[in-house]
Structure 1
């Protein structure tokens, strides 16, 4: 408890930073569930592929040598690369793993099994990425990209930690501002897009009543594709923030983060965009406080215990509204 009291603001801001990452990934779970009533367990691997896309693109364009103002440009490129690749992987996932089942009116359990299979496929494909290039004799030439596939791949940008201003006992750094600022911008943009745009209204209409939406001329397949693309883009943005904060990625980096993000979505009220954001921040801060009180080894125990306690008293989550309602 003394550690919590003595480092309250440091733990709070660190928790909010990781909570922002959880929240952005959770948006993908919430969007897909809101429209399809499907838990997309492969979404964590969409995040992981986005993190590798950012690492590889920045490595290819020489991001490791970036300094000063040029660093901002490389960060923008990294965000765009991660979001684009994650969106494309999510779209391919919908096309291969879910659309054929949806066309055949398969029960939800079959789609869930397909999601789990797709998750392992994407993870192991990244973990075995050296095999096809080794067969073609390109593993040495492309060693920076496919070498040591089961080990961590470092983030090529060297971002020096700069303390900017003090809040209580903690000096907020440039990395804290980049992660929290980027997350808040992405959340606000997505929230306003779903709330105010024509395509966003289509998403809410399908989430609320697919049959009525179809009668009103809403193309359900187009809405579903858009939902996967938006969720994938948010996961890509989260991947770049994760790299900034943690400094490396792995072929299985998405597993635990995916579980945490799904927990955040359920905590806030799965199917609710603002609930996913709230759940992410609550979970991140609870983890940070829990590690200070009980020790870092108990961090995950605290997180999931919090989930159980909240759902005992609030089964629909903290907000509990569906994506189809006006406050989505």
Structure 2
């Protein structure tokens, strides 16, 4: 039972990160019908920007509290990620908006490679040790479970940064849901996703709405990048590729273009990965386990695309003309 609870906690933490990044994919696709494969690199830029900001503050005053350092890293990462994503939309995607669908896809892959290369030039190719901001000591829960043979101790642990990841992700997802459903920008985004031409005739600036969609998704990815770096204590120029690909899988699983689907898909994928890796490692005596958890994510992607391409909450709709 302790393994199940521990893996559920790990899955919730991992799924919260996937959900945040998947929201960026699903919002852009819902408004523009575009898969932004450079979104994972925005996460990487956020993590490395936070690393530089926190390292600079530690160099100035090593006695600053950890919560202040982490907050400063997030505050530095968000505007940088927003500026990067705005630039990508303006110069890599907007000129190709009316081009065949393959053109922006190729452009997205090219932008991803460019961002990785620039990050490697700026921060180097080696793994960077992310500064410790919150205590590393896990919060351990002990419970004694009586059995006919003997009592045994069930141990479940969670770290402060993992608690922060779950809480912050939940708050950001609630804020995004409120914004999309209640704000003027959210209404404009929904109108643009239905029909950009008609939305323009109604006085909505489609270009501004699309740019805002990219920027909001980038802010979420920036926060997720700082969370990933703080949780694993490392940052490097290639760190955004795999989480970005898994977040795309989560968006497809939930139904790409559907905000609730992205949240659900992210949480489910995190649970599937953690439970699969945990029990696979137990059954094989540690021979297989966490190093093979990527198999589960991409197996899910294959199954979803094969059995239900629209995702769990997606609707089967015809392609736009």
Same fold (TM over 0.5): yes
Indicate the residue corresponding to 2:107 in structure 1.
Answer: 114
Indicate the residue corresponding to 2:118 in structure 1.
Answer: 125
Indicate the residue corresponding to 1:181 in structure 2.
Answer: 167
Deviation by residue 1:206-265 (Cα, 9 ceiling, x = unmatched) = 011212211211110000110010010000010111012111111111111111010001
Indicate the residue corresponding to 1:92 in structure 2.
Answer: 87
Give the alignment of 1:72-221 within 5 angstroms.
Answer: 72-102=67-97, 105-129=98-122, 146=123, 149-164=124-139, 166=141, 169-221=155-207
Tell me the C-alpha RMSD between the 2 structures.
1.8
Aligned residues: 296
| Structure 1: stretches of 5+ with no match in the other structure | 130-145, 323-328
Normalization by structure 2: what TM-score?
0.87
Q: Tell me, yes or no, if the aligned pair for 1:310 and 1:317 is still in contact at 8 Å.
A: yes
Q: Tell me, yes or no, if the aligned pair for 2:140 and 2:155 is still in contact at 8 Å.
A: no
Q: Secondary structure at the match of 1:40?
A: coil
For structure 1, which segment, 275-284 or 304-313, has the greater mean C-alpha deviation from structure 2 after superposition?
304-313
User: 2:195 and 2:63 mapped to 1: Cα distance?
Assistant: 50
Q: Tell me, yes or no, if the aligned pair for 1:154 and 1:249 is still in contact at 8 Å.
A: yes
Indicate the residue corresponding to 1:318 in structure 2.
Answer: 312
Are residues 1:249 and 2:235 paired? yes
User: 1:257 and 1:271 mapped to 2: Cα distance?
Assistant: 19
Q: How far 1:311 moved relative to its partner?
A: 4.2
Q: How far 1:274 moved relative to its partner?
A: 1.1
User: 1:113 and 1:13 mapped to 2: Cα distance?
Assistant: 37
Indicate the residue corresponding to 1:42 in structure 2.
Answer: 38
Normalization by structure 1: what TM-score?
0.85
Are residues 1:227 and 2:213 paired? yes
For structure 1, which segment, 174-183 or 221-230, has the greater mean C-alpha deviation from structure 2 after superposition?
174-183
Deviation by residue 1:70-108 (Cα, 9 ceiling, x = unmatched) = 222222111111211111110011111111222xx2111
User: 1:266 and 1:221 mapped to 2: Cα distance?
Assistant: 25
Q: How far 1:170 moved relative to its partner?
A: 1.0
